Structure 1
Amino acid sequence: MPATAIAGWLGRERVQTIVLLLLALGSAPVQAGLFDDDEARRQLKDLSIKTNDRLDTVSKGQIELANQIQTLRDENARLRGQVETLTYELESARKRQQDFYVDLDGRLRKLEPQMATSAEAKPAEESKPPVEAPRKAAASDPAAEAREYEAALNLFRANKLKEAAAAFDAFARAHPDSALTPSAYYWLGNAHYALRDCKKAIDAHRVVVAKWPANPKAPDALLNVATCQQELADAKGAKGTLEALVAKYPDSTAATTARQRLKK
């Protein structure tokens, strides 16, 4: 082979080798770029999945928190209603207690002249049999009855409920015709109710309504009967008692409370 041909052949081989090297060097960045794009897509996909998971967790937490807030609002509204009811009943009880003491004070003031007259006439009565005089005094002494009644009421106020119930019961049995006997039965019922004996409470309050329907405590006694019936799960009986209260004592404070309960 001539020297010129050999030189030409070597030149072509060198050119082809250079071209192949350039092609190889050019394809490497392309492959690296493709690899980088796939990795980026994978990372974006993973990030999207994690973000969605976090959003789902946050959303569930917000829903649960909203439910808890609504539950607390409902409970707060229920408790507010109970507080309002108890406040009203407490104010009514205070007013009834105040009325009682005003009435008792008036009775004692009326008795003062009689007690003075009795003291002046005492020497003339000394000639009577010693046994008979104390009996008449004990049986017809309103001041003594008032003190006995007040003692029972003090036991109730001191939260000595069993003792108060026994004292009111004893008073009612010993003084069936006393002007304070209706109140004694009324507080006897309240004492039994405080002792969680609703059946005895109903019996005592019904005595007030049956024997002294015109007594100021009769409407409250009926209301207390209805309260006890509700606690005994006698909804029908409680409704009937409340309706009877509204019909019989429409202008009483107890009737106002009864109307409110009937609306519920």
Structure 2
Amino acid sequence: MRLATRHLLRVSALAIALGASVCGPARAGLFEDEEARKAILDLRKQLQAADDAGKARNEALSTQLQDQVGTLRRSLLDLNSQIEALRGEIAKLRGQNEQLARDLSETQRRLADQAQTLDSRLKPLEPQKVSLDGREFQADPEERRQYEAAIGLVRRGEFADAVSALLSFQKRFSASGYTDSVRFWLGSAQYGKRDYKDAIATFKAFIAGNPEHPRAPEALLALANCQIELKDNKTARRSLEDLIKAYPGTEAAKAAKERLVGLK
């Protein structure tokens, strides 16, 4: 564009010069008609060349701009395609996450149900609190079941089976909280079975190990009864006197006093 401007300025100067030659009669002879035509033709060629150069430059710029626009359009299309692909991937991932969340919730629910079922199965197997003869302790369900079954035999008068059940209990649950009670009821079952010597040994062991036990007075009275059954009245009297002295005011002591009256 600067070149075209310079040409136009040059042409303008030439035109001014031509005008001056026409107006001034003194200079009219300086130029011939042929030279004027050549100058005009040259001027036209220069103008055409400048115009062609401008057109060519404009076409080049237009082509370059079109190429850039095309490149930008393709880039935008690629970007849109990528965005759409990402949207699809995000939607897919969102669907997977929702499915995973549902699966996790279902798994947690199943685990909670299984845990509850397991707890319900284990609960009957867990140690349970037992209160017996003024004492509290923990006992396994099977331990408690066997104890109650053995005591049931004693109360039904099935003394032989009761002795076997109580001895088996002592062997299996040697550290049980039921031990003292089992020993007392074992002596009672042996007494009921008329195994007086075994009953005496059992009651003596019970009293020696548990002098403060609530059933100690009963055990001492039962011991004296076993001695009476064996015709050992002297020893029986001593046992009854010990009972009255050690546990005064108890029902067993009252019964001991009555026994002493009839004992020779």
The interval holding the TM-score normalised by the smaller chain is 0.3 to 0.5
User: What TM-score does the superposition give when structure 2 sets the normalisation length?
Assistant: 0.46
More helix as a share of residues: 1
Larger Rg computed on CA atoms: 2
